[in-house]
Structure 1
Amino acid sequence: MSEEEVSLREHGPAVSVPLDAGTGQALAAAGVLRSATPDPARAGNWLLRAGSRVGAIRLPGGPVVRIMPKTPVTRLFFLLGFSLDPARAWHDSRKGTVDTGGHEDIVPALAHAVERQIDGALRQGVLRGYRTVEETALFVRGRVREADQVRRHFGRTPPVEISYDAYTADTAENRLLRAAVERLLRLPGVTSPVRRRLARQRVRLSGATPLVRGGELPRWQPSRLNSRYQPALRLAEAVLRGISPEHRPVDAAPLTVDGFLLDMNRLFEDFVTVGLREALRDHGLFARLQDPHHLDAAQRVGMRPDLVVHTGDGHTPVAVVDAKYKVEKADGLLNADLYQALAYATVLGLREAHLVYAAGREPLRVHEVRGTEVQLFQHSLDLSRPPGDLLAILEGLAGRLAGATPRP
């Protein structure tokens, strides 16, 4: 019997869903939706409205909630793939960087993509590496941990406290891949063929220790030895950082909402800022993401632009950019954003500031601020365009930023 499902649309209308009060309250507090409120027209129902998070979550004892994105899934995964690995995307912009298998829902597409990447990573065998092992044994292997031997056994042997380097498949890379596979197998909506392939990959990765749920992810460093693993590792980390919030209402057990959600606000911001950072390198400029500054001289009011462009030495700001996953208002203006951009330009001593939107009525709108030399630019980046066009637009904007000069 299939699970009950509720379909929502990114920033779409609310849908009435039967939920018990505890689950509804916990869901409202978890922040995975734009809003969750009791339905005044239907007792026992809650009105669920999606925001910028898209994907699927399973409510305990309740339905599977699917949130469909406005952006086509293939384009969404291009943005994700680019943000994770921009170097590959620049060279393969015609088809993007993530194979979604033709799926139109996020979770099935993600499961297919991860399984294909892991299969490619393991094609030459499971990566092995040296790992320091400390254990109690009946014979000496490696070196004796003398301090532990005296403290635990008063110097008597056996047993003996030893430490040695083991050549094993239990590496950080394999632990990450195994954890991603196991996470995907728990998600709703993964198709049966992909589930079977994921189960096969889990067997291949059985030599890796399972991760403790809620713990920190193992750290790995890119190297020549793990180069074939790197695309799969980046995608696996995206899976494991997908949301699974826990909220404890008053006098109730914790509610675990299991699933995978992408925050379109963050995804769009990452795509724009990472893309501009890469393109600006060709102009000899250095870009800082989430660059911290202060609005006031006393440094009490913080501000953190999405991207600040500096000269090659990293000392002098030459341009500032903020990415906004918003739809233009009827009058074409977003006044609060313009005030924010003006504050950035003022503090950094710039002649111009740039806002990049995911949609707009015009490709470019320019505002000259009265009484100053400052110009505010509003750019529109249509996500429905092909990947190559999107990257070309970012390259053009990078050229514009490279030509900007600070106020004397």
Structure 2
Amino acid sequence: MGGLRTVTVLEHEVIPVFEGGHLPGISEEAPRWLSEAEAQALLRLNDLRRGFCQRLSGGIKLAQHCGIVRLPTCVVEVLPKVGMADARTTDELERSRGALLAMLHSARQVAITKVGTAPQQAVRAPLLDIFIEAFLHCALDQARRGLISRYVAHANDLPVIKGRFQAHGHARRNLARPHMLHCEYDEFTADNAYNRSVRATLDACRTWIINGNTQRLWFEAHARYASISSVRMSAKDVESLPRDRTTHRYDPLLTWCELILAMASPGMSAGTTLAPGLLFDMNKLFEAHVAKYEEDSAEPDCIIHTQGPPLHLAVRGSTNVFLLKPDITVWRTDKDGANLNIQRVVDAKWKLLNPATPDFGVNEADVYQILAYATRYGCKTLELAYPMLDSIAEKNLPTFELLTEGQSTNEKTVVTVKMIPLWNIDLHNSNN
């Protein structure tokens, strides 16, 4: 991937497509354009990521997936939209990149450290460089703690018996070497599939690195894994590795191996594989980020449920219909930890608000949805959680009191709009 240009765009943005590869009057170095072949390759991703992008007159419009798409001739970096203005602001790309990294880390999608907090520290490096640096830090951290060792089966000709002597193999291989014995034995070694997956990932990403500091990190990590056999591995090979309590500390590192090796697929480099490798649905990512935020701020006698508990809204005859699964529910618990009663229902919405309108830009359908939760779960405190914008003061956020005929003041159902910080995780100090 070294030498490929990087096209950096925001979600829901339109990328111009030029038939000849560039628009007359615009230099080849212009950051935002796609050739027709690149546009077609991007559109084919819809087969795996439904609604990822669509063709419009003059360009490709992206949806809510953010991350990296590797095309044969370029790398498309898609960042979340975190600003109110229609046009990009000066530092929006850096802030967007920082917000995505913080959410990925807090939602436990990937382990990202040593990057710093945003927006206080701008994140100017492309996502690919940051992801590789995060992988290298994970690899070095595990190497310092000691590489995982496993018993690995070996078959070899030895001067003395080790393990099990194999007579048939000995007869085939050592008729002319009577002093050698063919043996099969198990050796406890760090040269196993877990560490080979790390070595394979190091080999795959070597040519992608541009930043000098990251290159130095790569050489340090490579030296730590130099004794590990260099074998070709795919993301599926890493995914199929057995996981248990003894390999738990390797989980973040193996996740990085899967993601990076998916982008190193030989089929993908030839343009035949559609797997994008490093794309994240912002709706699901923000929901996980809000859940982590609620966990961190919950009172000691509260417990957080995500995606439930699922309940049906209605019945038709003897059949339950209209399954409800709230994003987040907060429950009061007793001293034994059992659920006592529901305190709040929180619905996460990866959308931008509009303070200039009476309803603050809250979508009617979102209110109807959360009202269904209130009816079925018997909860009168409802919250719609949106990403925080600097231009909106928290004290100005609206609270909607729902109008219900004959309902007393104490029984009012209230929908509160709340904003969730996108940069509330300190990546230097977080141990999640």
TM over 0.5: yes
Segment of structure 1 superposing worse, 135-144 or 50-59: 135-144
| 2:183 is equivalent to residue 158 of structure 1 | no
Say if 1:106 and 1:190 are closer, same or farther in 2 by CA, change over 3 A: same
SS at match of 1:127: coil
- Please report how far the alpha carbon of residue 199 of structure 1 lies from its aligned counterpart in structure 2 after TM superposition: 5.3
Offset at residue 70 of structure 1 (A): 3.9
Residue of 238, 241, 244 corresponding to 1:218: 241
Which of 138, 143, 161 is the aligned partner of 1:117?
138
Displacement after TM superposition at 1:326 (Å):
0.9
Aligned to 2:347: 322
Query: Do the aligned residues in 1 keep the contact of 2:48 with 2:274 (CA within 8 Å)?
Result: no
Between the aligned residues of both structures, percent identity stands at 22
Matched with 1:393 is none
Native 8 Å contact 1:12 1:49 kept in 2: yes
In structure 2, the partner of 1:168 is 189
Distance change (3 Å), C-alpha of 1:180 and 1:49:
farther
Partner of 1:313: 338
Question: Is 2:401 aligned against 1:380?
Answer: no
Matched AA of 2:236: G
Larger Cα Rg: Structure 1 or Structure 2? 2
What CA distance in whole angstroms lies between the structure 2 residues aligned with 1:342 and 1:93?
Answer: 42
- Cα distance in 2 for residues equivalent to 1:66 and 1:345: 39
Mapping for residues 2-401 of structure 1, pairs under 5 Å: 2-16=3-17, 17-20=34-37, 23=41, 25-31=43-49, 34-37=52-55, 39=57, 47-60=59-72, 62-70=73-81, 72=95, 73-84=97-108, 103-124=124-145, 126-131=146-151, 133=153, 157-159=167-169, 166-171=187-192, 173-175=194-196, 177-178=198-199, 180-182=201-203, 184-185=205-206, 190-191=210-211, 193-195=213-215, 197-198=217-218, 200-202=220-222, 204-205=224-225, 207=228, 211-215=233-237, 216-222=239-245, 229=249, 233-234=251-252, 236-238=254-256, 240-241=258-259, 254-256=272-274, 258=276, 260-280=278-298, 282-291=299-308, 292-297=310-315, 298-310=319-331, 311=333, 312-314=337-339, 316-329=341-354, 331=357, 332=360, 333-359=362-388, 361=392, 363=394, 364-371=397-404, 373=411, 374-383=413-422, 387=425
- Quote the offset at 1:380 in angstroms: 1.4
Using the TM superposition, give the Cα deviation of residue 241 of structure 1 relative to its aligned residue in structure 2, in angstroms. Answer: 4.2
CA drift at 1:358: 0.5
**8 Å contact 2:133–2:217 — kept in the other structure?**
no
- Deviation of 1:123 after TM superposition, in Å, equals 2.5
Q: Is the 8 A contact 1:140 1:162 kept in 2?
A: yes
Inter-partner Cα distance in structure 2 for 1:180 and 1:13: 33
Amino acid at match of 2:366: D
Which amino acid letter does the alignment assign opposite residue 58 of structure 1?
Answer: R
Is 1:23–1:255's contact at 8 Å kept on the other side of the alignment?
no
8 Å CA contact 1:353–1:377 kept in 2: the answer is: yes
Change in 2 beyond 3 A, CA 1:299/1:259: same
SS in 1 for 2:68: strand
Q: What amino acid maps onto 1:12 in structure 2? A: E
Task: Output the CA distance in 2 between the equivalents of 1:315 and 1:143.
Answer: 61
Question: What is the letter of the counterpart of residue 37 of structure 1?
Answer: R
- Looking at structure 1, the residues matched to 193 and 294 of structure 2 have their Cα atoms a distance apart, in angstroms, of 31
Secondary structure of the corresponding residue to residue 6 of structure 1: strand
Structure 1 position 179, deviation (Å): 5.1
Alignment CA distance shift 1:277-1:241 (3 Å): farther
Change in 2 beyond 3 A, CA 1:22/1:95: closer
User: Given residue 103 of structure 2, which amino acid in structure 1 is its aligned partner?
Assistant: L
Q: How many residue pairs align between the two structures?
A: 352
Deviation at 1:30, TM superposition (A): 4.1
Unaligned runs of 5+ in 2: 18-33, 83-94, 171-181, 427-432
Contact 1:178–1:210 (CA under 8 A) maintained in structure 2: no
Quote the RMSD (CA, aligned, Å).
4.4
Return the letter of the residue paired with 1:56.
I
- Write the distance in 2 (CA, Å) between the matches of 1:278 and 1:219: 31
CA distance in 1, matches of 2:210, 2:66: 16
Give the Å deviation of 1:272. 1.3
Aligned in 2, Cα 1:345/1:93: closer, same or farther, shift over 3 Å?
Answer: farther
Q: Unmatched 5+ residue regions in structure 1? A: 42-46, 145-155, 389-408
User: How far does the alpha carbon of each residue in 1:139-175 deviate from its partner, in whole angstroms, 9 at most, with x for none?
Assistant: 976579xxxxxxxxxxx94349998653121456535
SS of 1:296's equivalent?
Answer: strand
Distance 2:123 2:47 in 1: 35
Please tell me whether the aligned partners of residues 129 and 169 of structure 1 are also in contact (alpha carbons under 8 angstroms): yes
Could you say what secondary structure the match of 2:314 adopts?
coil
CA contact (8 A) 2:77 2:127 kept: no
User: Normalising by structure 1, what TM-score?
Assistant: 0.68
